[in-house]
Amino acid sequence: MTRLSVNINKIATLRNARGGNIPSVLDAAINCERFGAQGVTVHPRPDERHIRYQDVYDIRPIIKTEFNIEGYPSQSFIDLVLKVLPHQVTLVPDPPDALTSNAGWDTIKNKKYLKNIIDIFHSKNIRTSIFIETDPELIKNAVETGTDRIELYTEPYAANFSTNKEQAITPFIKAAETANKAGLGLNAGHDLNLDNLKYFKQNIPGLLEVSIGHALIADSIYFGLENTIQMYLRELK
């Protein structure tokens, strides 16, 4: 079964809009675990517009499930990860002012840079993943960075799913086959939802984990968090 990691950034966005501690990010992390999610993901940004660095410190000791920290590897981010020691760190090439992650790494141009950072995290036994697009050459070059996994950027799949799902999934199948052949673990995320998740899971060989935030948290407004997590888990079976 592909594991579900719930990105709780949007919980923090709602909290920060009003101040105070409602809704509680810590309660959300605990409940995601309690309701069956196999992981919790956070993406702290320098401006702390959603998840704050202190949230990351607070979450780590209170959950037993996989903790995944994703973000751009600035020095402050690297320092945070080395202090918190999550199970996984996902490196994303977005600048500090980006609204959301919208591209993958160029593993040819940034190979040495990524390798140096990954070596740092591996020295602390932290599993690494690189956010990446479906270009087979970029995936092949990811191997030389030393990363354990890649995370496929699935926004193009989600954007084209409703018009031609077969065409939308094709580059991702080829990317997954390339990753499997190269010995890379395979994650995926961005705009996966209850409409497109099952088809993606059924067609992507070796899919270990999906990270889902915006759609899942939005669905939970209508269905409740526990029910929503169970709905997503059923799509992954």
Tens of pLDDT, residues 14-48:
999 999 999 999 999 999 999 999 999 999 998 99
* More confident position, 100 or 155: 155
pLDDT of residue 94: 81
CB 193 within 8 A of CB 158: yes
Q: What six digits make up the tokens of 168?
A: 């939308």
Backbone angles phi, psi at 28, to 5 degrees: -65, -45
Convert the pLDDT of each residue in 92-125 to its tens digit. 998 666 555 668 999 999 999 999 999 999 999 9
Locate 167 and state its tokens: 């065409």
Burial of 136 (0-12, 13-18, 19+ CB in 10 A): middle
* Whole-Å CA distances, 162 to 158, 166, 219, 228, 234: 8, 10, 19, 22, 21
Catalytic residues: 43, 70, 190
- What mean pLDDT is predicted for residues 137-145? 98
pLDDT at 99: 55
% of residues, the chain, pLDDT over 70: 97
- In this prediction, residue 1 carries a pLDDT of 86
Q: What is the mean pLDDT of residues 158-186?
A: 98
pTM exceeding 0.85: yes
Q: How many domains does the structure of the chain reveal? A: 1
Question: What confidence tens digit (pLDDT) does each residue in 183-223 have?
Answer: 999 999 999 999 999 999 999 999 999 999 999 999 999 99
Distance CA 116, CA 91 (A): 12
CA-closest candidate to residue 98, choices 9, 215, 193, 220: 9
State the CATH number of the domain containing residue 142: 3.20.20.70
Domain that holds residue 140: 3-236
- For residue 233, is pLDDT > 80? yes
